[in-house]
Chain A
Amino acid sequence: MKNRFNIKKLLISTLFSVIALVIFVIEAQIPFPVSIYGLKPGLANIVILFVLFLGGKWKARDLFLIFLVRVLLAAFITGQTMSLIYSLTGGIAALLTMIAVKAGFKNAPAPFVSVTGAIAHNTGQLAAAAFVLQSTSVFAYFPVLIAGGIISGLLTGFVVWGLFRTYPKFISYINYI
């Protein structure tokens, strides 16, 4: 119970959400040459993956809250509340997959966990799109979305891996804040 009103942790969580949001907004401004739904770098997941690999006081509950705040704020800022269904299905699928993979494979490296999350994210989004359109032909995009997920997953995974290697003191400070 005493963790519930940990104001420092609350502040850091808010900071994580806002960092993810800023990365998301900046990424949306960068024109991306390939126009296929769901194919994008997804750099905001660096934050989610970072929190996932934190130990100590950081639990799955915090991960979900940070993710929800980020996604809801992003939908309100861009004004595309319609896209919320895709970001929520994809994001929750990715979170559950990454938590399961991290628990199932002992000491699984961040890039591997991130790749499984990215694949789950794109699969979830594609399933949501197939549901909205009531169409199975959109699954023609499935292979390219998995391939894109592997690239973006590796990208974010190695960033987090590098962060944990470079700032071990900062990580252990955040862990028991």
Chain B
Amino acid sequence: MKLLNKRNIVYTCVIFALFAGCVAAWFFIRNSEVEEAFAVIYKNSEQVQSVDLSSETSEYQISVGSAETGINIILIKDGAIGVISADCPDQICVHTGFIKNRIVPVVCLPNKLEIRIVSGDKVHGVFDAVAR
């Protein structure tokens, strides 16, 4: 069988086009920034705390979860937020590092924890709805 037939060239082109598109989309998503970034911490899909990263200057830690649901220690420092220690087996949330104003979230799947960056407008909108 000839390797470089017409069909295989089409397959190769489709796969490489998709790959290039995905790499481009990934760099676009990684670099898209949020104005007035708020970090919202979710545990078991419920909001635990929200931090105004754009105005936060102090450095402090938050412990989220219990021994049963899994504990993540979150550090807020220099307007950035990240997980510094976790009792989950894979430690992916710790290795993800700190996020500041990019929309890619920090996730810990075993402990069902997510740190999401949202823009300030959205957070105010949510609070207004609650206040009403």
Contact = CB atoms under 8 A, between A and B. Distances in A.
Interface of A: 35-37, 80, 82-83, 86, 108-109, 111-112, 115, 129, 132-135, 137-138, 140-144, 146-147, 150-151, 154
B92 A35 contact: yes
Contact of A115 (B15, B26, B114): B15
Contact of B92 (A36, A86, A132, A144): A36
B23 interface: yes
B105 A140 contact: yes
A154 B91 CA distance: 28
B96 interface: yes
Contacts of B81: none
B45 A112 contact: no
Interface of B: 8, 11, 15, 18-19, 21-23, 25-26, 29, 42, 45, 89, 91-92, 95-96, 103-105, 107, 109-110, 112, 114, 116
Contact of B23 (A80, A86, A140, A143): A143
B19 A147 contact: yes
